[in-house]
Every structure is written in C-alpha cells, then in structure tokens.
Chains A and B, each alone.
Chain A
Amino acid sequence: MRPKVKSYKQPSKLSEYPSTPAFESGHLVSKNAGWRTFKPVVDAEKCVGCLRCYLVCPDGVVARTKDNKVEIEYDFCKGCGICAHECKVEAITMVKEADEDEI
C-alpha cells in the first residue's frame, strides 16, 4: 500500500528537523508527480489483467482493482512510460497532460 500524504508543518527551529536525512518510512509530505509530461492512460476494455505493468512500475503506483484490472495513482506517477512499453496488449497509452481533455 502506498503511504498517504501527511500534513507537514514547516519547522520553526533547526532542532525540529531530523538530525540526519533519515526519517520513519512511509511519511510522505507531498505528492510527487509535478514533473510529469505524459501520463499513462489504461484502456480497461483492452486490459487483460496480467499485472505486468504492476510488476515493472519503478514507483509502485499501479494498483489492482477488484476485478483484477489496473488503475494508476496519478499523484505519484512520474510518467516514465515503462508500463506502456511493457504492456503486451497495448492497453496503456501515454497521453500528453495538456492534450488530456481531447481524449
């Protein structure tokens, strides 16, 4: 399960920061998809639920739905396109964010 974003208050003193760049795992303070140019869009009709994309996604942001299809957590998808490249039935298309409305 992907950790949830927790609210974060900017420290007012240095001593409130962790002493080294190390902190409890799963503590996300922000979404991490700001740099994406293309986003993967899954065609549920074509998808056969093989979960290959789930395995190869380097950021672990492909989630499985109840009917064994896939869903992408866009808040953390960096748009690398590996999932689209590896999907054997071409169920994933990389769509330019700006053109999204045209789909």
Chain B
Amino acid sequence: MKSNRKFVSGDEAVALGVRLARPHIISAYPITPQTIVVERLADFVEDGSLKAEYMHVESEHSAMAAAMGVSSVGARAFTATSSQGLLHMAECVHYASGARFPIVMMNANRSIAVPWSIYGDQRDSLSMLDSGWIQVYVEDAQEALDMMIQAYKVAENPEVMTPFMVNLDGFVLTHTYEPIELPEQEMVDQFLPMYQTGNKMSMDEPKSLCFSTSPADNQEFKVMQHMAMEGSVDVIRQVDAEYGKVFGRSYHGLTESYRCDDADAVLMTLGSVTGTVRCVVDELREKGFKVGVFKIRFMRPFPKDEVMALGKAVSKLGVLEKNISFGNEGTVFTNVNSALMALDTKVQSKNYVGGLGGRDITKDHIRAIFMDLLNHDRFEERVEFIGMGCEINE
C-alpha cells in the first residue's frame, strides 16, 4: 500500500483528512484551538489542492446554518468549532440532526466559561450529547485524520443520515505534532464515493425540506431519528472494519479494550488521556497488577453492548473523565452505569473527574486511581475529583 508519512499537529491532520474527503463547501469561523484546521483548509483551497468553496462566515451559528444549506442541495459540507463556538451554534446543531443532514464537524474540546479558559476539557461536546449528532472522541492525530474519512461514510449512509462530530482534545491533540500516514487520494475516492441523496433541493424533483409537523406526527420523526442513531452502531463497525482492510488501520469499532481480559480493575477513558493510561497499565502489569484500560470512542451512539460485555468480565470499573454535570456526576459515568444496570451481576464503579479547565492528568494520578480501584471492595465516594491543587473542605 502506498502512503506518505508526515509530521503534523492534530489540527493539521484533521485538515488533511478533510481534504481527502473532498467536501464541496467549508463554512468556517475560527476559534482557538480549532483555528489551524480552518486556516489550513483555506490554504488548500487557495493553492488549488482542494477544489471547494470556502465561506468565511460571521459566527459559528452561521457556520452551521451554511453547512445545512450546503447539505440541503446534496453537497458535502464541513465545519469546525470549539467550546463557546459549539454552544453558540447549538440551535443549528439540533436543527441539522433533525433535518438529517450528514454534515461532518470537528470540535476541539475546550473548557466552557467562566472562569474563562482556552484550555481543554470535554464539557463542550458532552453538553451537546442529546443534540442527535454522532460523537466520536479520538486519541491521536492519526485517528483524527482517519475519522474524518470514516465520518462521511457513516453519516451519509442512507440508513444513518445523521451528522457526525469528531472531537479532539484541545491543545493536547490539536497542537501536538505527531507522525501520521497520509492515505492516497485515489484510494480514499474509492472508499468514499460522492454523496448521493434524493432528499435535496432540486429543480427536477422539487422537495420541501425541514417541514413542520403537528403533534400528531412529530414524535414519529424523532423516533426514526433515534432508530437511525441506534442503527448506526452496525454501520460504524462495518465502515471501521472496511477502512482497516483498505488502509491498514482500524479502531476496533465503538470502543477499544487494552489488557482488560483478565483484569481485576479497568479504567475507562475518553479521548487523548487514553495514551497516558495505556502507559501506566503497561507499567503496572510489569509489577504484577492486573489492570486494563477501556477506551470509549463513541459517546453517541453509546456502546452499550461493549460496556455490558466489559461489566460481565470485570468487577471493578473506574471512569476517568474531563467533565462534570454539576449537581450530579460525570456524564460518561452516568452513561456507563446506565448500561451496567442491565447486568445481573453488580459491578463496583467509581467516577474520577479531573483535567477540568485544561489541568494535566498525570501518570501519578492514574497510578493512584488504579491503586484506589484495586484496594477497595466498596467505594464510599461515588465521585472523586483528582488532581486538586488544594484540600477539599470537609
């Protein structure tokens, strides 16, 4: 297989992946730490290496509105955002999924104000979990690039027709340079043919798009949207497997399990922190501790089957996440426990929340988490904040 090796940042990897997917139009508004994505795409359009229209719109709300317009004529749309930008476009984010426009968007995970912060946590996209978008969280630049191509293939599947958000941890991934393999354009063209849909604005077959319904029919459309998202589980697995065959890299479907088979304790992760946890797992395994890491790649559709299978095999599960649903617990933890509820056996689970506002999650923190999981049979605390800079008052 022919391929080129390149040394790029996560943002540049996204831009290269998007170029390979050949969108017709990019609607963009820059926001840190996504900016490099839209800058590189602008360069590609200017140097002619990407034949697309580039729309520099006046806000993120407009970026998504424009992407919907693009999608409504059956063209391929791309946009990217982050943090407050994602929240600003929230109204259109729901609109796009209800309209079943297969838009692909990159989101650079970044904390939400206030206190103001440009650094990374995952509260932005997790707060949009109910918006009807497929959400994947990638671990490195290569996965980011590969997912831009897979995303269109999944989103545009006639049974799915659902927009797709690819999430990268702000700065940790978006601004870190890594070597990547760049697939050949011809192979991508074969893997990802042009988008075809009958549900578009067309002079030959005029259609009304995004119509209104009364309460007598509205729920049916929402149920169909839900069923399409649930059905996308199989499509995601198939597309990933096919990608693996063609390009030599697959990502194990909706989750990736590492050294979990005989583990006494497993830590579940989302996004780039997985790499650090994997290193700690290797270290601890050498010392004889049976630990593993379970990477949740997709938050929507939620990988219920995979989480349940893990819950059957392992008795102690930690969930490490960079968000908090104020007044409750981490959102990933809630979703994991909901899947575990369907099991007959009771699994001990505990939530470790850290990295808020871009704070580092270190190997020391992760070692301490594994020791906490291994040394306790019952967890008194359900949620523990890790990496606090000071004592929490009792």
Contacts and interface: CB of A to CB of B under 8 A. Distances in A.
A11 B205 CA distance: 23
B199 A30 contact: no
Given A10-B216, A19-B199, A30-B214, A24 B221 contact: no
B358 interface: no
A23 B99 contact: no
A1 interface: no
B100 interface: yes
B342 interface: no
Contacts of A24: 205-208
Contact of A23 (B100, B158, B208): B208
Q: Is the interface of A mostly helix, strand, loop or mixed?
A: loop
Interface in B192-233: 199-200, 205-211, 213-214, 216-217, 220-221, 223-224, 227
A19 B224 contact: yes
Contact of A22 (B209, B220, B227): B209
A89 interface: no
B100 A17 contact: no
B201 to A, nearest CB: 9
Contacts of A26: 206, 208
A26 B99 CA distance: 19
A10 B218 CA distance: 12
Contacts of A21: 98-100, 209-211, 213, 221
Contacts of A18: 199
Contacts of B208: 22-27
Contacts of B206: 24-26
B214 A17 contact: no
A14 interface: yes
A25 to B, nearest CB: 4
Contact of B220 (A14, A25, A27): A14
A26 to B, nearest CB: 8
A69 B374 CA distance: 85
Contacts of B210: 21-22
Contacts of B217: 10, 17
Given A11-B220, A14-B220, A14-B223, A23 B207 contact: yes
Interface in A74-96: none
Given A14-B223, A27-B208, A20 B214 contact: no
Contacts of A30: 214
B132 to A, nearest CB: 12
B221 A17 contact: yes
B100 to A, nearest CB: 4
Interface of B: 98-100, 158, 161, 199-200, 205-211, 213-214, 216-217, 220-221, 223-224, 227
Given A20-B161, A20-B199, A23-B208, 16 more contacts: A10-B216, A10-B217, A17-B220, A18-B199, A19-B199, A20-B100, A21-B210, A21-B221, A22-B211, A23-B207, A23-B211, A24-B206, A24-B208, A25-B208, A26-B206, A30-B214
Nearest first, the 8 A-B pairs at minimum CB distance are: A20-B100, A25-B206, A22-B199, A22-B209, A25-B208, A20-B199, A22-B207, A21-B211
